[in-house]
Amino acid sequence: MGKATGFMEYKRENGPVIAEEERVKGFEEFHERLSTEEQQKQGARCMDCGVPFCQAGCMLAGMMSGCPLHNLVPELNDLVFRGCFEQAYERLSITHSFPEFTSRVCPALCEAACTCGLHTDPVSTKENEKAVIEYAFEHGLVKEGVPEVRTGKKIAVIGSGPSGLATAQLLNRRGHEVTVFERNDRIGGLLRYGIPNMKLDKSVIDRRVKMMEEAGVKFVVNANIGFVGADSNCTTVVELKNQYDAIVLACGASHPRDINAPGRDAKGIYFAVDFLTQVTKALLDSDFKDIPYELAKDKDVVVIGGGDTGNDCVGTSIRLGAKSVTQLEMMPKPSETRLPNNSWPEWPRVLKTDYGQEEAIWKFGEDPRIYQTTVKEFIKDEDGNLKELVLVSLESKKDEKTGRFQMVPIEGSEKTIPAGLVLIAAGFLGSEQYVTEAFGVETDGRTNVKTEKDSHRTSIEGIYTAGDMHIGQSLVVRAIAEGRAAAAEVDRDLMGYTNLPQ
């Protein structure tokens, strides 16, 4: 390392963040960058610790530890420290397809496993990565070159989320002819419609998609493959099998988990992704001139689910003028520090206050989260509109039959709160059934597409899978890693060996 004592000399500094009072006025990104000089100091904090857990990307205690892409983190940080941003981009590109996405939305698994973070603050690898990729774009270093030779092989990728885009990118670079089919009206999958614009500006997606198009990747939107009732002009599964040498299913784990309680049919209850999609589509369709305030303005909003999507719903509702925002979480409140059974370098199961909760605290004076609570009943008015929720507290009890602990209602703990809008962000159950049935692929007990261990081949020859559709609901960084691995497997099967260009 160029600065062996950097971690002792420099404190962690994050890029400036626009204050809540200003950022809730719009849907623009609010994380700004450090100066180049300050970012170099952050690179200097990397310890060159000898065993870089940050890039391990392995499962520990059922959770991912370190970067699933195996980014060469110490080398990247060292190059940032030295100010060698062009070389840093070249190094990052060896393992990563879309640093511009993960440097905005990734929870930074690399930082959670950072050796420096064992006793002090971890290295700000995520912001170092953002500095590198944005420098590369600003200086014309990012290329999606047209392959000099085409192989004559045709590949269809179903789904344009991070896994689908990563698969398409590498297979196109190899020289295969790649067509990406997307059921929505714009490319990006959940990157486009499942993540709010203030977290990932959609121009960042457009920038990359344009380059991929110019390099030869074909994109087809409004193509809901396998859906009964789809437009008659939509390509069918039979046509895909006849026209393409390989098909990659990268449709995500988009089957939402519902809340089955009396009154569920009330008007004003939406799945979180449907709500976020409606907001983002309205913004994009109007070039951000029409903000859909009518969705939440002056309403008591209740978000069911404490994860990232729930947090995004909190932040979005505040921007749309919600009267109040409450976020329900079934599980107990996490500890503020690691517990003995959650030792480093496991992913830390600790309390995290994200941007949406920060904004709710600023606006309403308190954390919106209520732990160990769920909905017992949705109460409607005479017109069928949602007006109230009956909540019930939960406690952990051991099931005598299975021996597992479950969260069960506490008798007599019910209370009623006002609610004009409920957003269900309780996670996903797996892949869409109509897609897996249309392609005839086997699924596992969680409705993920079934494959052999460490493989992306489905039960149907010539059909592969990648991303959340394969491993279940997960992170953008894991989806990209899945797409890259699937691309290598497809290439190997088609060509007898794999030689994917970086």
Domain 258-426 = CATH 3.20.20.80: no
Q: Residue range 254-267: average pLDDT?
A: 95
**Residue 1 banded pLDDT, cuts 50, 70, 90:** low
Q: Which two tokens stand for residue 377?
A: 């009943």
pLDDT, tens digit, for every residue of 313-344? Answer: 999 999 999 999 999 999 999 999 999 999 99
The overall average pLDDT reported for the chain is 96
Encoded tokens for 389 = 């929720």
pLDDT category of residue 235 using cuts at 50, 70 and 90? confident
Half-sphere exposure of residue 164: CA atoms within 13 angstroms, side-chain side: 30
What's the pLDDT at 400? 85
**Residue 2: its pLDDT value, please?**
66
Judge whether residue 208 has pLDDT over 70. Answer: yes
Give the residue among 374, 456, 426 at the shortest CA–CA distance from 171.
456
Instruction: Assign 232 a pLDDT band (cuts: 50, 70, 90).
Output: low
Confidence band for 484, pLDDT divided at 50, 70 and 90? very high
On the question of pLDDT at 231 being above 80, the answer is no
Over residues 16-37, mean pLDDT: 98
Q: Give the pLDDT score at 55.
A: 96
> Looking at residues 56-74, what average pLDDT do you find?
95
Q: Fold for domain 6-138?
A: Fumarate Reductase Iron-sulfur Protein; Chain B, domain 2 (1.10.1060)
Q: Give the sheet arrangement for strand 421-424, strand by strand.
A: 269-271, 421-424, 300-304, 324-329, 369-371
What is the rounded average pLDDT of the residues 106-113? 97
Helix (H) or strand (E) holding 214: helix 202-214
- Name every residue whose Cβ is closer than 8 Å to that of residue 53 and which is 6 or more positions away in sequence: 65, 66, 113, 114, 115, 345
Domains 154-253+429-495 and 258-426 share a fold: yes
pLDDT at 86: 98
Distance of CA 476 to the CA centre of its chain: 4
Could you state, in order of their start, the residue ranges of all structural domains in the chain?
Answer: 6-138, 154-253+429-495, 258-426
The neighbour count for residue 68, using CB atoms within 10 Å, is 26
Instruction: Give the tens place of pLDDT for each residue, 48-60.
Output: 788 999 999 999 9
How would DSSP label each residue in 4-67? TTHHHH----PPPB--HHHHTTS-S--BPPPPHHHHHHHHHT----SS-GGGT-EEETTEEES-
Angle, CA of 175, 460 and 444, to the nearest 5°:
115
- Cα angle for residues 432, 438, 439 (degrees, 5° grid): 100
The mean pLDDT value for 100-111 works out to 97
Q: What is the CATH superfamily name and number for domain 154-253+429-495?
A: FAD/NAD(P)-binding domain (3.50.50.60)
Mean pLDDT of 408-437: 96
CA nearest 428: which of 249, 272, 223, 267? Answer: 272
Q: What is the mean pLDDT of residues 128-135?
A: 98
User: What are the CB-based long-range contacts (under 8 Å, 24+) for 59-62?
Assistant: 60/345, 60/346, 60/347, 61/342, 61/346
- pLDDT tens, position by position, 431-456: 999 999 999 999 999 999 999 999 99
Residue 285 clears pLDDT 70, i.e. is over it? yes
Q: Would you say residue 148 has pLDDT above 80?
A: yes
Residue 501's pLDDT band (cuts 50, 70, 90): confident
Which pLDDT band holds residue 234 (cuts at 50, 70, 90)? confident
The answer to whether 133 and 103 have CB atoms below 8 angstroms apart is yes
